[in-house]
Structure 1
């Protein structure tokens, strides 16, 4: 039997640059689906694996293992797709848009977007659900107010990811803490030291930007036209928001995410039938096929014709292929070899923090899914933290920041594809305005190199006391 070895740096460079070349050529030059590029990438990695001594059977098993590790994301995505479809049909999202246009002052709109999306994401624990409901509404309101959509999308994502990395209900929060061997609530408390200052700075940035853009290009006639179009198309009343309230309350009570989201989708279908005059069978069908309508307003058509389980299939396939590719990368030890190459320099909390963030970003770039990053990063970096006797809370915090907050920055990742598709703004357009992500990453690096809010194990603390 052939002896199995780890890949050398040259083999890794060829593999990863080959992957990037394939992805970019398919998406930028050939206009082919990213999913096909990811599928082909499996076999490029398999060829390297066989060269390294692995059997095909083991490599295929690593694909299956990688996919199974992230199947919860698939379940959530399917549920969110159903929710978006019925909430548009039931008037929940249109009502949010209407009241937003009615009551939110243009000058504070970006700040309001950040706050609304962050409150919803903390309460529900899902950035995808937040972007697919409140996010859609805020983009529509921003369009009506004449505020550049990439900036609006940046505010939506800053709010959505704030909760996704902080809420105890979030799957990414649970994953980062569990794989780092940290209690979830201890992880959340550790995140607070970074998240709260980041949020305040981000809120100030969006407030200042809001006063620059708010009201500058606002067309009151267009706002009134959008509102009247919504009223003609949907029954708009405050009780249209009851399904949203029910979902938020159930999630705050720590009920399981997937069934709660499905309950919300069912309520949306009931609301569509009772209040919007849809046939109940057609209302239920929107959970699978999405909502479809033709109004006189082209923008509203593009905004409201979405959702449904079928609308999530492209992202779902990206997740499956990305998780599979991540499974092979882990089996081959690719990221482990990259880290070991620079291991001699991982002698300070600052260098370890920076390396963790880079590994997490690479997990999103080459694993194409946030789950890949959050699964691989703690496993790869834990020894470096243990050698410095750093508390595992520092590992879980850095893995969360690097894994969750960079996931929407990669155009071919699950988050990048989903967020761009739902918001109607390309990844590279909204990327410069993901201010919460950039501020959080900057603070994490600052903490690492200054020693601020960096904790050590009890063993290290006792050693320091003795030396003192």
Structure 2
């Protein structure tokens, strides 16, 4: 009598999904109330359905806690990157990268250069957050000096950052997706290359053409002004970039990302003390409180007055609430019910690809975190690949296409909030310029509906052969 739970029906699922969108619209757009409160409100919306289908409050609370626990690694990374950003700005590391970038990068190839630099950084480190918070911030400063619109620069930066987040064997999302999909890590990466490589080439060409033909509203005199301002407020030198090199090398050696990033943040504090004239206690406090700069150049102040653990507190609260939403939906069976509906619809490789992409976006939109999206995409569609005898390498590839690359597209997801905060550009403003991310989705759908790079599994011996 006590356990009379059931899966939510279509009307109840629709109530939750539509209610979520309505709450978000009125809180954020209509009344300009914080996203955090909007997400907290949706907890109770989902609980109404949970109570109706037989769940007790304490069971749903445990679902919230489980969802938050599953995403705590992202929270720790955010704390680490926040500390890193603050000390790398105060220590002159980011300002030096901006300075030298301005002196060697041509405006005509700047967008392509920013895309490539962020690609290389993210591949070497495996973290989109760390890449955006360091190389990305530097590229934003250079782009602003050249007169490029910041949303366009942010699009090139984020596109490059998510190449590595999606492909690097050091990336937590890459490793997690391979594990969830039960695919060898290297085979997973090889499968993704069939989509990511052409997407990267096309995006690179697009950024190149845009950079050549774009007429910025600034002129090169702003470059001189920016470099002079940086020299006035920071000690600039090649040795300022040593902490960045150390962190990239350690991450490339497959050292754990959180302690490496925190070590890099500590190096930033040491550099602030040794080379930028900060008192020892102030240089340490930057780890938590961030830095404050008054350069007299507005965009530099906006760009560099950020960082520190406290800079990430709003983001962390938002992610915790978003993870709770995902945990609740998992607990009361909404994800499983949606998976059942998709199983009936996904009768071929094209529909199956679309369902996985939707599952990943669903996790980001309603769960607010890349980890949630990878779980939803793989869980609600994984058995359908087995049923259609399609190799799970296709599942893992599509999971990243629907989950990882759509994360910065959602304003309240961990990726969306972090990128907007770190780069100083609202999610909806940079969204049209995430060309690599959109291309990954489009090419994945083309492959699915054309049956290209869709490997089949022989049900008898589980051997794989490429579909023609």
Contact 1:177 1:187 in 2 (8 A): yes
1:276 aligns with 2:276: yes
Question: C-alpha displacement at 1:461, in angstroms?
Answer: 7.6
Alpha-carbon spacing, 1:223–1:464, altered in 2? closer, same or farther (3 Å)? closer
Which whole-Å CA distance do the structure 2 matches of 1:464 and 1:69 have between them?
Answer: 33
Q: Residue 338 and residue 235 in structure 1: after superposition, are their counterparts in 2 closer, same or farther (change >3 A)?
A: same
**1:31-69: CA deviation from partner (whole Å, max 9, x where unpaired):** 211111111211221121111101211111111111111
In the TM superposition, what whole-angstrom CA distance separates every residue of 1:160-203 from its partner, at most 9, and x where no partner exists? 00000001111111111111111222211111111111100110
Counterpart for residue 455 of structure 1? 455
After superposition, what is the alpha-carbon deviation per residue over 1:288-323, rounded to whole angstroms, capped at 9, x for unaligned? 011112121122111111000010111111111111
Q: Distance in 1 between matches of 2:390 and 2:460?
A: 8
Aligned length: 465
Residue 156 of structure 2 aligns with which residue?
A: 155
Q: Distance in 2 between matches of 1:285 and 1:298?
A: 25
Q: Distance in 1 between matches of 2:112 and 2:464?
A: 44
The reply on whether 1:93 has 2:94 as its aligned counterpart is yes
User: Which residue does the alignment assign to 1:304?
Assistant: 304
Q: How does 1:67-106 map to 2 (within 5 A)?
A: 67-106=68-107
CA contact (8 A) 1:322 1:372 kept: no
- Mapped contact 1:323–1:371 kept (Cα < 8 A): no
Alignment-derived partner of residue 326 in structure 2 = 326
Summarize deviations over 1:210-241 as a string: whole Å, max 9, x none: 10126x54412211011000000000011100
Alpha-carbon distance change, 460 to 148 in structure 1, aligned in 2, over 3 angstroms: farther
1:245-260 → structure 2 map (5 Å cutoff): 245-260=245-260
Alignment map for 1:4-403 (pairs within 5 Å): 4-213=5-214, 216-403=216-403
2:455 is paired with a residue of what secondary structure?
coil
SS at 2:317 equivalent: helix
Q: Deviations over 1:317-369 (max 9, x none)?
A: 11111111101111122133223224333121111001100111111111111
Relative to the length of structure 1, the TM-score reads 0.97
Structure 2, unaligned runs of 5 or more: none
Distance in 1 (alpha carbons) for counterparts of 2:129 and 2:460: 40
Q: Is the 8 A contact 2:43 2:324 kept in 1?
A: yes
TM-score, scaled relative to structure 2: 0.97
Structure 1: which 5+ residue stretches go unaligned? none
Alpha carbons 1:365, 1:413 under 8 Å: kept: yes
**Would you say the 8 A contact 1:175–1:375 is kept in 2?**
no
Partner SS for 2:170: coil
SS state at 1:284 partner: helix
Contact 1:125 1:163 in 2 (8 A): yes
Distance 1:389 1:221 in 2: 61
What's the offset of the Cα at 1:438? 0.9
Q: Is the 8 A contact 1:92 1:241 kept in 2?
A: yes
Distance 2:49 2:350 in 1: 34
CA distance in 1, matches of 2:218, 2:30: 37
**SS at 2:372's partner residue?**
helix
Q: 1:464 to 1:206 in 2, by over 3 A?
A: closer
Q: Residues 150 and 460 (structure 1 numbering): CA distance in 2 closer, same or farther, change over 3 Å?
A: farther
Displacement of 1:460 in angstroms is 6.4
